[in-house]
Structure 1
Amino acid sequence: MRLSVRHVTRYSFTTPVARLIQSQRLTPSRCANQQIMEWDVRMEGAVRGAAFRDGTGDWTETVTVNGPLEHFEIIVEGEVETQDYAGVLTEHREKVPPSAYLTATDQTRPSQGLRDLAAEALADMADATVLECAHKLSAAVSDNVEYVPGETDHMTPASEVVEGGKGVCQDQTHVLIALAQVSGIPARYVTGYLFSASGDHMAEASHAWAELHVPDLGWVGFDASNRCCPDDRYIRLGSGFDAQDAAPIRGVVAGGSGETLDVHVKVRDADDPAAAQTQQ
């Protein structure tokens, strides 16, 4: 599938900031699952610094903007040719060992509730493969954490999400990572884009899913929000231990106050003439 993306991020500051410094991971991953046909990241007034492929295989770029600055806009546009590998991340080169992703963070730290849910999900799986267990854990998240926006915030840990039983894709991903890790399966957080022709798929400005490491297969994606493994509707940007670590944009500002963030994302089928006519 050939997918077209337009992703606009606008920052507004109540009082001007003296300087803005960001670390950006806004370029899709380099792997067999997807091939970048066109990709452009535009920022007026920005000075681009170091750019490199980090140990996780993600392309990272530093950006500095000198003020006084009241507004800052990042426009990402491009097209990506995607392939369906049934969720298996293929030909993605990275140096970080899978065992590193058995490490929990504040967002994925295990609680008794998470341990109980993992044990319940795998109760009859003593002879199952790691892949079968991974599917079972993902299904447990889908069954126990309903997709409901507005019930959590960006700092809500997986332990509270599983108690409340509601959340968004970020929360469901954190819960799945926690369940996998307490079950001895390395797991990590992935950010990217999801194309939905019908609008039925659960997706926010930046969609999220988990990757679990399976022997002989490597990293396999699981989207508990949509009860599936990522296919050719997905574009992978990057990964990390949790949502904060995997964020496409991280930064600091000097001076100023009162930041407002506005994000708009449009993903369409680039080969669909009707969709092209409605693209804004």
Structure 2
Amino acid sequence: MKLRIVHQTVYRYDLPVRNLVQSLRLTPSVFEGQRTHDWVIDVSGGIRGPGFRDGAGDWIEGWTVRGPTEEVVVATSGRVETRDTAGVLRGHRELIHPLAYLRDTVATRADAALRDLAAGVTDASDPLGLAHRLSAAVSEAIAYRPGRTEFHTTAAEALAQGEGVCQDHAHALIAVARLRDLPARYVSGYLHSTAGGEAHEAAHAWAEIHVQGLGWVGFDPANRCCPDERYVRLGSGLDALDAAPIRGIAAGQGIETLDVAVNVEEVERFQTQSQSQTQS
């Protein structure tokens, strides 16, 4: 599938901020399931700093904005060609050992209800089957309903409410997978459409579970599927905060507001086959 992505994040401040430093994880991953044809990142008034590939295989860029300023726009656009790998993350180079992803965070820490959910999955004959069953259990336990949770909502809180969004599904799946001794991590990215074909004009998130002998396998409980050619992978982490596409700090007393617009559209073909600008 050939996808064109436009992603814009606008930060506004009621009082000018003096300086802003950001760490951006906004470059598509390098693996067999996707190829980046061109990709541009721009920060209004920003100075691009050094970039590096971290131990998880994600490309990180540093940016600095010298104020005073009341608005900063982070704009990303590009074209990515994807193919279905049945959710398996093949050809992705990383250094962190999978067992590091058994570590809990505040967002994924299990309570009694999450432990009961994890223990209730008993009809799996192998680790891959267990991962699929855990994902299905999370899908059943948490209904997809936007606007009912917030960024800092934990997996335990989302399960108690019985509703949430893709972030909550991912956190809950990570929690129950780790309870069953399966390394699991949070993945940020984009989704072209839902399984039913409805447009999905937002950034998306899912989980990856490490299966012995197979490697990292993606699971999207919010859509009851494994990532396929509709998905574009950006990066990963222990939870949503750790895997955030944009992290930063501003010097000043202004109150920050945030607007995000994402558009992912399929194109029949790329007019030019430009060389990938993804860092290797």
Structure-2 separation of matches of 1:77 and 1:256: 31
Normalised by the length of structure 1, the TM-score is 0.93
Match of 1:209 in 2: 206
Match of 1:21 in 2: 21
Q: Relative to structure 1, is the Cα distance of residues 64 and 267 closer, same or farther in structure 2, using a 3 angstrom cutoff?
A: same
> Which residue, 106, 128, 131 being the options, matches 2:128?
131
Match of 2:189 in 1: 192
Structure-2 separation of matches of 1:272 and 1:163: 45
Match of 1:243 in 2: 240
Structure-1 separation of matches of 2:220 and 2:45: 37
Match of 1:151 in 2: 148
- Secondary structure of the equivalent of 2:157? helix
1:155-166 aligned at under 5 Å gives the runs 155-166=152-163
Structure-2 separation of matches of 1:29 and 1:272: 21
Structure-2 separation of matches of 1:269 and 1:201: 13
Structure-1 separation of matches of 2:219 and 2:181: 16
What amino acid is aligned across from residue 37 of structure 1 in structure 2?
H
Match of 2:255 in 1: 258
Contact 1:25–1:58 at 8 Å: present in 2 too?
yes
Contact 2:39–2:76 at 8 Å: present in 1 too?
yes
Match of 1:97 in 2: 97
Structure 1: gaps spanning 5 or more residues? 274-280
1:232-253 C-alpha deviation (Å, 9 max, x unpaired)? 0000000000000000000000
1:123 Cα deviation after fit: 2.1
- Secondary structure of the equivalent of 2:140? helix
Structure-1 separation of matches of 2:104 and 2:199: 25
Structure-1 separation of matches of 2:156 and 2:202: 24
Q: Which has the larger helix fraction? A: 1
- Secondary structure of the equivalent of 1:211? strand
Structure-2 separation of matches of 1:233 and 1:204: 12
Contact 1:169–1:203 at 8 Å: present in 2 too?
no
> Which residue, 168, 174, 179 being the options, matches 2:176?
179
Structure 2: gaps spanning 5 or more residues? 271-280
Structure-2 separation of matches of 1:81 and 1:102: 32
- Secondary structure of the equivalent of 1:246? coil
- Secondary structure of the equivalent of 1:245? coil
Q: Relative to structure 1, is the Cα distance of residues 138 and 202 closer, same or farther in structure 2, using a 3 angstrom cutoff?
A: farther
Structure-2 separation of matches of 1:226 and 1:142: 8
Match of 1:46 in 2: 46
Structure-2 separation of matches of 1:220 and 1:19: 40
1:124 Cα deviation after fit: 2.8
1:134-157 C-alpha deviation (Å, 9 max, x unpaired)? 000000011110001121111111
Match of 2:274 in 1: none
Match of 2:75 in 1: 75
1:272 Cα deviation after fit: 7.6
- Identity, % of aligned pairs? 53
Contact 1:115–1:182 at 8 Å: present in 2 too?
yes
1:80 Cα deviation after fit: 0.4
Normalised by the length of structure 2, the TM-score is 0.93
What amino acid is aligned across from residue 262 of structure 2 in structure 1?
V
- Secondary structure of the equivalent of 1:242? coil
- Name whichever of 150-159 and 231-240 sits farther off: 150-159
